[in-house]
Structure 1
Amino acid sequence: MHAVVFAYHDVGVHCLRALLKAGIEVDLVVTHQDDPNENVWFGSVAKLCQEKSIPYITPSASELSNLIPKFEALSPDYIFSFYYRHMIPAQILACAKIAALNMHGSLLPKYRGRAPVNWAILHGETETGATLHVMEAKPDAGDIVGQASASIGPDETATDVFGKVSGAALEVINQVLPDLIQGKVPRKPNELAKGSYFGGRKPADGQIHWNQTAQQVHNLVRAVAPPYPGAFTEHHSKTMIVAKTSLKGPFPANLDLGATGIQVVDNRVFGICGDRQAVEILEWFPASK
């Protein structure tokens, strides 16, 4: 079996390794150049390709369509997308003789779209996972090929959960590879009406609104904690990144739960929320750092 692989991030590294281990011939990898403005804390697909002597390219989104003849000439059995960030044109997907398959970081049909791990934490989910699905022109909409779940602990950050989702993705690809190698693609419907779609998140979306509940604030902090851009609030005319919070208490009796915002009591920092509950800020630092 021959494949063209679009890949980035830890999921890209793990799943590409799994394909190679299973004996799939990877004729080309399409990946991204690392963004110098991004905190790159994850594994490098390009480095893996260099180690394994696999041809790879790093086209921009606008350059993909120009590469259609190249993909047509390769005529792979499969096209895989493992955390590749650009939409892949339908004409490229059609170059796969058997199927074009994408690994998505949620239990589809829930959390289709961008930043699925961050959105799941933000909404207080206790479970997410990874789903391999057939790629269509519409994002994350094709039939489900395989799934594995991952738990979300009450204090886990997006980075913690992403590690679990990466493990779930590897579990999924290893589950289905025996069938794929035989040219069989297991399918079940991706019932979109039972799910949800979310767009990308910007650093500005990390602003803490203290009129929300303590649980909502805690979930936001976890969802965007560094190395993501971080939740932030103003304190003494400074923008502060709130990196870690706790709901556990015990909290000082002299907190004024009627006044939302930051309070410092006994050298401890608290955020008073709209439900008259507090979060303790365990780690924060000036945004300028």
Structure 2
Amino acid sequence: MILCGGKFAFRTIQLLAYEKFLYAIGIGKGNDIIVDALEKETEENKMPFKSFPNKKSMSEMKDWIFSIQPDYVFSISFPFLIPEDILAYGNHKFINFHPAPLPQYRGVMPIFEVLKNQESQTAICAHFMNAEFDEGDIIFNDPINIEEGDTYGKLTVKLSHRLSNVVLNVANMIQFGSKIPSIPQDEEKAYFYEKPQYSDTYIKWKRMSANEINALVNACNPWNIGADTTLMGEQLKIIKSNVLPMSHDNSVPGKILKINEESIIVACADNQQLEIEIICSDEGILKIKDWKTKEKLIGIIFN
């Protein structure tokens, strides 16, 4: 059985169904379109389906799982903690697939964190579930390279593709093995990231390097539209940027140094320059060439 949180799991669901592993689907907090699509698909395939739209509805999960009697329960971005009385269905019967290496990247949005922290690799971590988020024994971490220019959206798609193969490998492992090896997580390396707040997505021009700002922009695209900033009292989001291989002679961080046809150039705290190509303003999502007020911005400072 699959417990999921939305479309991130769809490719995996399709593959498991094709390989005749899938028996039932539960979804938590999904939007109406996704829930309706999954429910229709399960009806056509005569497969048990259950929606858990909120924490209160989780009270129905125990009876549902115990009545269905799945061999294993796979969790993919399921938004709610599974209580101990449900996990008691079977020892090592619940396996979560976390889209980042554990124990270093526990939490609800690890894709944002690995990009923001400029990691060169992330992973799909398969681990047994216990009564705490992301703390169960690790089956394996399957590494995935982060390429230059990867955004939150691009990396999510990449992880979703890899996830389907990782989950299928675990399903085959279960089918042909009597016991799945695992190891406890190293708590000395553990860190839990809370869901990002506005302060996490806001650019701190006075202390962030060009690479840090660029990484934040990529980490916020598209889920937050872009990285947040302020210019002349207007709230903006930077959607696409690049680090330029040149210094700016220690200008004030955040100062707009130059305006080109396709971009604006901004000074950063490490004496490097950031090129901004796409923003979101009160006018909408704009390429810099279409930003009507840009010509007045030379010397103005982001804050």
Q: TM-score range by the shorter chain?
A: 0.7 to 0.9
Distance 1:9 1:240, change over 3 A: same
* Distance in 2 (alpha carbons) for counterparts of 1:45 and 1:176: 26
Equivalence for 2:100: 106
Equivalence for 2:40: 50
Q: Secondary structure at the match of 2:241?
A: strand
Structure 2: runs of 5 or more not aligned: 285-303
**Does the CA-based 8 Å contact 1:203-1:229 persist in structure 2?**
no
**Does the CA-based 8 Å contact 1:14-1:170 persist in structure 2?**
yes
Q: Secondary structure at the match of 1:179?
A: helix
Query: 1:113 corresponds to which letter in structure 2?
Result: G
Equivalence for 2:250: 257
**Alpha-carbon shift at residue 203 of structure 1 (Å):** 4.2
**Does the CA-based 8 Å contact 2:27-2:35 persist in structure 1?**
no
Equivalence for 2:265: 270
Query: 1:157 corresponds to which letter in structure 2?
Result: T
Query: 1:20 corresponds to which letter in structure 2?
Result: A
1:138 aligns with 2:132: yes
Match for 1:205 among 180, 200, 206?
200
Distance 1:105 1:264, change over 3 A: same
**Does the CA-based 8 Å contact 2:226-2:280 persist in structure 1?**
no
**Does the CA-based 8 Å contact 1:130-1:149 persist in structure 2?**
yes
5 Å-filtered alignment, 1:54-203, equals 54-59=47-52, 60-96=54-90, 99-182=93-176, 184-203=179-198
Give the structure with higher Rg (CA): 2
**Does the CA-based 8 Å contact 1:75-1:97 persist in structure 2?**
no
1:239 aligns with 2:267: no
**Identity percentage of aligned residues:** 23
**Does the CA-based 8 Å contact 2:115-2:218 persist in structure 1?**
yes
**Alpha-carbon shift at residue 205 of structure 1 (Å):** 2.6
**Alpha-carbon shift at residue 82 of structure 1 (Å):** 0.7
Structure 1: runs of 5 or more not aligned: none
RMSD between superposed Cα atoms in Å: 2.4
Equivalence for 1:24: 21
1:34 aligns with 2:42: no
Distance 1:288 1:266, change over 3 A: closer
**Alpha-carbon shift at residue 97 of structure 1 (Å):** 6.3
TM-score by length of 1: 0.85
Aligned residue pairs, count: 276
**Does the CA-based 8 Å contact 1:259-1:272 persist in structure 2?**
yes
Distance 1:98 1:107, change over 3 A: closer
Q: Secondary structure at the match of 1:232?
A: strand
* Distance in 1 (alpha carbons) for counterparts of 2:275 and 2:232: 18
